[in-house]
């Protein structure tokens, strides 16, 4: 799935979900769009897989990594 983004220099782009994670990790984005609207990086919270808000995108990524690892082991 392609995700619309706004880079820190104000330009617009479209990236896939893996690239989005990398751009967020390297703090290259001002915002990105999800189904419910635009997310301001550093200001808006992200949802975790259960639909609850997480304190940060990194918390969500860590949760997904743990979940995927447990699926691979079990």
pLDDT in tens, the chain (74 residues): 899 999 999 999 999 988 998 998 899 999 999 888 999 988 876 544 344 555 566 666 676 777 677 777 76
18 and 5 co-located in one domain: yes
72 and 50 co-located in one domain: yes
27 and 6 co-located in one domain: yes
35 and 67 co-located in one domain: no
20 and 54 co-located in one domain: no
Angle between helices 57-73 and 17-25 (to 10 degrees): 130
Residue 26: domain span:
1-43
Residues 6+ apart with CB under 8 A from 52: none
32 and 8 co-located in one domain: yes
Residue 16 Cα distances to 2, 4, 70, 71, angstroms: 5, 9, 24, 23
36 and 52 co-located in one domain: no
For the chain, the domain total comes to 2
């Amino acid at each position: 799935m392609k995700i619309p983004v706004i880079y820190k220099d104000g330009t617009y782009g479209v990236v896939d979900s893996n690239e989005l994670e990398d751009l967020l990790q390297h703090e290259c984005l001002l915002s990105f769009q999800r189904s419910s609207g635009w997310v301001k990086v550093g200001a808006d919270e992200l949802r975790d897989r259960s639909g609850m808000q997480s304190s940060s995108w990194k918390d969500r990524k860590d949760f997904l990594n743990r979940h995927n690892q447990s699926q691979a082991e079990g």
